[in-house]
Amino acid sequence: MADILIVGGGTAGVVLASRLHQNKPELSILLIEAGPDVTNHAHISNPAEAAFLHGSDLDWMYMTAPQKHLNGLPRYNCAIKGLSGGTIINTGGWIRGDALDYDEWAKQVNDPRWSYNGLLPYFKRSEHHFDPNADPAQHGFDGPMHTASISSSGRKFPLRDTILKLWSHLGLKYVLDANNGHPQGIAELVENWRDGKRQIASSVYPLDGVKVLTDTLVRRILLGSENVAEGVELANGEKHMIKPDGQVIVSAGAYRTPQLLQLSGIGDPAQLSQRGIETSVNLPEVGKNLHDHLMLFRYWKLRHPEKGLALGSPSFSGPNFEKGGPVDWLVTAPIPTAPLKAAIEKDEGPVSDDHALLKGPRSHLEMNLLYAAVAAETQGLQIPLDGNSIMTYYMGCLPTSRGSITLASSDPAAQPVIDPNYYATETDKHVMREGFRMHTRLMYDTPEGKELVVEEHTPPGLPTLGLDASDEQIDERIKFGGSTVFHPGGTAAMGSVVDGSLKVKGVQRLRVVDASVIPQPLASHYQVAVYAIAEQAADIILSELA
């Protein structure tokens, strides 16, 4: 019998197990992960080989439900099955995001522990910041996760200065440190490759002293009388129990955590009964509120590829180029509020200037430009990696579209119905159109853009779009090529499903600790937030045990 039983050895599960053990070695901790231990896997260490993991046996290979607002087609949404979860495949962006988003989260749940300042000690605790002279009020220097910037890794790409000038046409400033809660502007991308190698969660948060079961799928949480969690049942029928004063923690990620709660009879009675599951806890919000970032890739033909400006060109080489992505800048931008307000009002009716998306200004768009042309098939294009083309990318950071996770069957091995409901609101359409127009203007209407590219590679069957593209034409492009940035969250949201201490409402001895608890989107990529959530969860649990 365990003191602490954690379901899901992904990013959050590993951090939590490791920290609880480090601080209280006498606890018996059982961590159960559906996938394998990947420590010696061939394609883990080299970030460039992550592409081999898509579609592999480490990939849950989720397909969403047909997306009503994306031409009725489903989307591939990768999630990883393996000890360390998403950190096995993620692209290494170490992006804390905007303090205002965390403050909105804390306000929504009325709990300052989840504000930016509430999470700051945990951002710092997870981090080994690359610059020893950075602000110690904002950064940690002894944490397990080593970060690196473009400069600190020694990369100097040929287009660095040109692209800085290009982005500055958006009226944005250069920002020395975007990971201090104030990211708006143009900053060097920060990644968590250590000397060019991936650090999966379990390699930096040791699990010695934690009992780990890999290749083990959990079917459901066992609830006793008065809805007290007592343990879990595995897909093979075995049971693992907790001590009478122990607890079960679900860290199965934003797709599987709600599925597991639902399989355990915690959810919406009407939906559960459709799958023959008796409701133990009437908690209709389980699986609702799925939010995810939608992004669009665009591809551009270089005017002077012979200068060796992009990956694939024999002359695109320099010291340390392989130590991270072929990119210099990460750009975070607000958009003008008056037209945004008009879009919000189409969705919500009259709103005041105090509306959360209008105040701030919030970080509505994230953008970057890569010296490479990869994944062009997402836009129906075949572009060789020969140095002739580059790509841009942008995502809507604060989408208002919400989707859901529901059970497709009572089989724990079956994927749930994942319906992110992308691009459903006028607000999201407006933000994504703004991003599209910004990129078009940069490329076709600035001296640097005109010198940089000849034209865009247009997806087959769609019109070439210039400065005069209409809303409808841009929508057509996004409906065709929009896809996830792999940031699902919110499906066991704090406030509705769990409380500020991460306890599932209506159940005793049961918590959720992973991206599912993030109640609303953050203008970031979610690993930094998930590391901090798990770090804070460990402190909350330890304080109760003390």
Q: Which residues are annotated as a binding site?
A: 218
Q: What is the dihedral of CA 463, 469, 470, 476, to 10 degrees?
A: 40
Instruction: Choose, by CB under 6 A, the member of 103, 476, 514, 535 that binds ligand FAD.
Output: 514
What is the total count of residues that contact ligand FAD (CB under 6 A)?
A: 42
Instruction: Choose, by CB under 6 A, the member of 29, 31, 44, 79 that binds ligand FAD.
Output: 79
Residue 514 one-letter amino acid: D
Binding window for ligand FAD (CB under 6 A); candidates: 32-40, 282-290, 293-301, 450-458: 32-40
Is 92 a binder of ligand FAD (CB under 6 A)? yes
In angstroms, what is the minimal distance from the CB of 57 to ligand FAD?
Answer: 12
Query: Measuring CA to CA, which residue among 141, 134, 147 is closest to residue 180?
Result: 134
In angstroms, what is the minimal distance from the CB of 307 to ligand FAD?
Answer: 29
Task: Measure the CA–CA gap between 396 and 404, rounded to whole angstroms.
Answer: 19
Q: Are 209 and 21 in contact (CB under 8 A)?
A: yes
Cβ neighbour number for residue 280 with a 10 Å cutoff = 18
The kind and range of the H/E element at 346 are: helix 337-348
Instruction: Choose, by CB under 6 A, the member of 29, 106, 207, 252 that binds ligand FAD.
Output: 252
In angstroms, what is the minimal distance from the CB of 447 to ligand FAD?
Answer: 32
Parallel/antiparallel/unpaired status of strands 294-302 and 453-456: antiparallel
In angstroms, what is the minimal distance from the CB of 48 to ligand FAD?
Answer: 14
- Whether residue 487 lies in the annotated active site: yes
Token pair for residue 185? 């502007």
Which of 19/433 has CB closer to ligand FAD? 19
Query: Measuring CA to CA, which residue among 491, 508, 502, 329 is closest to residue 416?
Result: 491
Catalytic residue among 43, 291, 430, 525: 525
Question: Buried b vs exposed e over 152-177: b needs ≥16 C-beta within 10 Å?
Answer: bbebebbbbebbeebbbebebeebeb
Token pair for residue 523? 């203008």
Is 69 a binder of ligand FAD (CB under 6 A)? no
Which of 34/223 has CB closer to ligand FAD? 34
Residue 364 one-letter amino acid: H
- Whether residue 41 lies in the annotated active site: no
The H helix count followed by the E strand count for the chain is: 12, 26
Query: Which residues line the annotated binding site for FAD?
Result: 218
Binding window for ligand FAD (CB under 6 A); candidates: 82-90, 116-124, 297-305, 495-503: 82-90
In angstroms, what is the minimal distance from the CB of 486 to ligand FAD?
Answer: 3
Active site residues: 487, 525
The residues that touch ligand FAD, with contacts defined as CB under 6 A, are 7-12, 32-35, 78-82, 85-87, 89-93, 95, 217-218, 251-254, 256, 260, 412, 486-487, 514-515, 525-528, 530
